[in-house]
Structure 1
């Protein structure tokens, strides 16, 4: 089966077949390539839901053999400290993932606090337009579908710019296209936005 090439913008690249790199996460990507320079060989990566933390971590682990701890802010001190010592003993890099900055973690162990404080802290930035376009394209290419530039430009002017919204809209447009047996077009995009805005209003009430 032939693969569908993503019509990616010039400043967008695909890495490890798992995540996209734009200005929003380029510094994180660069640092993942230079893990030998991390303080304590540890990085704390902060990013919102659906921002690609898990995909970046999977690619990093596959390439380096490093250890990964997802949702680190909710972990017990002992679990995190044990993993830290294991990474140290095995001479492997450690990547801690969280949606919350370290200042909001409930850490009690003084030794763990000091190590976290002295580690490299990086945050995935809000999605730029290249990232938003690329994520939509990647989602539909994986399903053998395409999304037109007209639809992308329509959404660009109207959608909330967040990773979670890209995911929500992509899934809703996909479901509507299947339901109506139509391609991803402006009508589908308008309907999807309408459904999501209605749902958001119900939540706010």
Structure 2
């Protein structure tokens, strides 16, 4: 991170991954995952809008628990017996389970195997379980019994930290004033932040200039 910038933001290293910045938007979810040993029924549902950091936080949790991470799209083809012997498992994008033949049955059996040995199950999704449209009643009842924790859309503090890091990763020197200019004018997601920084970098290289407020205004006008 650039030494010019002095954002007073707490951060938590993601054990070999990118830094995980803590703000009001994600602190409660992070605390909930930290307390995984106390989860009722040893399970938790993590929900949040697209690009809010669910996958990042799931990987932070994996580094704490040695969990295996499986996408819902691949669940029907996974070795459920092997997963059921793990101490912790993450299933991502669970709102799409009904799309994949056999996925609900696979999660049902996995849930039961993990519950038998009191292993931890983390399920991530963009929406609450009641909105997944699960067709298997026995699975629906088990998932609906799981506690839920939420990632909110990134707030200014979190977006500022993400922007600073994205610029620093590209070795682009910026000022706090530029961050303050971008925040109220950009779409409020990590995906939008990545796209904006990449676009500013490309435009600056094409023009042979630095990333300035004037350049940012031009790029934002095109978005």
The 1-side partners of 2:6 and 2:34 are apart by 22
Gaps of 5+ in 2: 67-87, 98-102
- 1:80 paired to 2:107: yes
Gaps of 5+ in 1: 197-205
Structure 1 residues 41 and 10: alpha-carbon distance in aligned structure 2, compared to 1, 3 A threshold: same
User: Which of 86, 103, 128 matches 1:101?
Assistant: 128
Q: Who is 1:127 aligned against?
A: 154
Structure 1 segment 147-186 matched on structure 2, within 5 A = 147-186=174-213
Structure 1 segment 44-123 matched on structure 2, within 5 A = 44-65=45-66, 66-75=88-97, 76-89=103-116, 91-123=118-150
Q: Who is 2:13 aligned against?
A: 15
* Structure 1 contact 151–186 (Cα < 8 Å) conserved: yes
Q: How many residues align?
A: 194
Structure 1 residues 68 and 138: alpha-carbon distance in aligned structure 2, compared to 1, 3 A threshold: same
* Structure 2 contact 9–21 (Cα < 8 Å) conserved: no
User: How far has the Cα of 1:129 moved from its partner?
Assistant: 0.9
* Structure 2 contact 163–197 (Cα < 8 Å) conserved: yes
User: How far has the Cα of 1:34 moved from its partner?
Assistant: 0.3
Q: Cα RMSD between the aligned structures? A: 2.1
TM-score normalised to structure 2 length: 0.78
User: How far has the Cα of 1:99 moved from its partner?
Assistant: 1.2
For each residue in 1:78-104, what CA deviation from the matched residue of structure 2 results, as whole angstroms up to 9, or x when unmatched?
122233234335543211111122121
The 2-side partners of 1:79 and 1:156 are apart by 42
